[in-house]
């Protein structure tokens, strides 16, 4: 009598090490594994393994496809999948606004129930927004203060900016005013990094897709890095069972707006400085991506996001 097949145990989402961005490949299941096959047109194509039970999310770029068997196995391992353009942006899959979330009725309910209870009370929702922005400020200050490349360039967040942001957070009595305070904070960070990178009058231009100037390269890296940040945020919300549709700051008409809120914790602290440094050094998209993912892994971003979001409501 044959023994029942035992599935290997998945690593906790908060501890997963791998994030993949793939181009010109076919993702499939082979010999009880998820693999991708290169589609380069060469005489011999190669298979590479995707350790799905230690993977947080998967970005599929230009010229990619995935079989139903691979999609089923990735969903079973609770891996999010997103289709995107070349270089990681823009993101095309909108089955659940930002990522294709694994279909499973086995989700924790306590976090969603607590979030909904808090979200429908405006005062509580604004207070949650304040806590989100304070955490964003704290993580950014910590990350920038520990960034050797920024320290080498004498880039630091001025005390006056920190104090102004804190005062704006305290004074805000609505999500709209919190969003305004957040915009002014981000603008000041952009200006600080642009000055250090010798980019005059930097302007954030999402999805421009150009690479002629340093500013163009930086914008491209920001686009790419932001979608990695969205992946981390979506992984956390999906794992906790909290709907993407219950934002604290971003527009209530955007179905995935909570993903953008949570991703901002990563964007200011890690994506933004990495994008400016990579743009100034004319790094490749691959080098930028690998460096950012490695930094996020070293900083245990998933674990920190899970801990913060679980306690936020």
The tens digit of pLDDT for each residue in 72-100 reads: 899 888 888 888 776 554 544 433 444 55
CB-facing half-sphere around the CA of 112: CA atoms within 13 A:
13
In this prediction, residue 313 has a pLDDT band, given cuts at 50, 70 and 90, of: confident
31 belongs to an annotated ligand binding site: no
Percent of the chain with pLDDT over 70: 86
Inform me whether the pLDDT recorded for 101 exceeds 70.
no
* Region for residue 88 given its phi and psi (left: phi exceeds 0; alpha: psi -120 to 50; beta: otherwise): left
Query: How many CB atoms neighbour CB 37 within 10 A?
Result: 15
264 belongs to an annotated ligand binding site: yes
Can you state the angle between helices 175-196 and 159-171, rounded to 10 degrees?
170
Classify domain 110-312 by CATH number. 1.20.120.920
The dihedrals phi and psi of 58, each to the nearest 5 degrees, come to -130, 125
The dihedrals phi and psi of 32, each to the nearest 5 degrees, come to 60, 30
Query: How many CB atoms neighbour CB 280 within 10 A?
Result: 19
Distance of CA 87 to CAs 82, 83, 91, 97, Å? Answer: 13, 11, 10, 19
| CA separation for the pair 184, 180 (Å, rounded) | 6
Q: In the chain, where does the domain assigned CATH 1.20.120.920 lie?
A: 110-312
216 belongs to an annotated ligand binding site: no
The three-class DSSP label of residue 22 is strand
- What CATH fold (topology level) applies to the domain 13-88? Ribosomal Protein L15; Chain: K; domain 2 (3.100.10)
> Does residue 59 have a cis peptide bond before it, meaning omega lies within 30 degrees of 0?
no
Is the pTM higher than 0.85? The answer reads no
Computed on alpha carbons and rounded to an integer, the radius of gyration of the chain in Å comes to 20
Identify any residues that bridge with 59 across adjacent strands, giving them in sequence order.
21, 82
Q: Is the dihedral of CA 13, 14, 18, 20 positive or negative?
A: positive
Q: In the chain, where does the domain assigned CATH 3.100.10.20 lie?
A: 13-88
Reported as a single tens digit per residue, the pLDDT across 248-300 is: 998 665 566 898 999 999 999 999 999 999 998 889 988 999 999 999 999 99
């Amino acid at each position: 009598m044959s023994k029942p097949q035992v599935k290997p145990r998945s690593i906790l989402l908060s501890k997963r090490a791998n994030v993949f961005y793939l181009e010109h490949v076919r993702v499939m299941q082979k010999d009880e594994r998820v693999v991708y096959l290169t589609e380069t047109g060469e005489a011999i194509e190669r298979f590479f393994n995707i350790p799905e039970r230690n993977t947080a999310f998967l970005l599929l770029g230009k010229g990619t496809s995935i079989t139903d068997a691979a999609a089923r196995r990735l969903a079973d391992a609770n891996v999010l999948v997103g289709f995107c353009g070349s270089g990681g942006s823009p993101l095309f899959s909108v089955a659940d606004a930002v990522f294709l979330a694994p279909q499973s009725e086995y989700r924790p309910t306590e976090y969603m129930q607590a979030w909904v209870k808090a979200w429908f009370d405006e005062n509580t929702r604004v207070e949650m927004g304040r806590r989100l922005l304070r955490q964003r400020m704290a993580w950014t200050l910590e990350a920038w203060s520990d960034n050797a490349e920024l320290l080498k360039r004498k880039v630091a967040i001025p005390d006056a900016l920190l104090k102004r942001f804190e005062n704006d957070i305290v004074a805000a009595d609505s999500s709209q005013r919190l969003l305004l305070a957040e915009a002014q904070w981000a603008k000041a960070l952009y200006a600080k990094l642009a000055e250090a990178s010798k980019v005059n009058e930097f302007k954030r231009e999402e999805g421009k897709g150009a690479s002629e100037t340093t500013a163009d390269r930086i914008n491209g890296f920001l686009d790419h890095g932001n979608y990695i940040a969205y992946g981390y945020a979506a992984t956390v919300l999906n794992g906790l069972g909290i709907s993407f549709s219950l934002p604290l700051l971003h527009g209530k008409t955007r179905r995935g707006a909570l993903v953008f809120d949570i991703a901002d914790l990563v964007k200011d602290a890690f994506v933004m400085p990495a994008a400016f440094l990579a743009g100034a050094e004319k790094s490749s998209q691959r080098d930028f991506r690998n460096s950012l993912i490695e930094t996020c892994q070293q900083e245990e971003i998933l674990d920190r996001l899970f801990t913060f979001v679980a306690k936020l409501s």
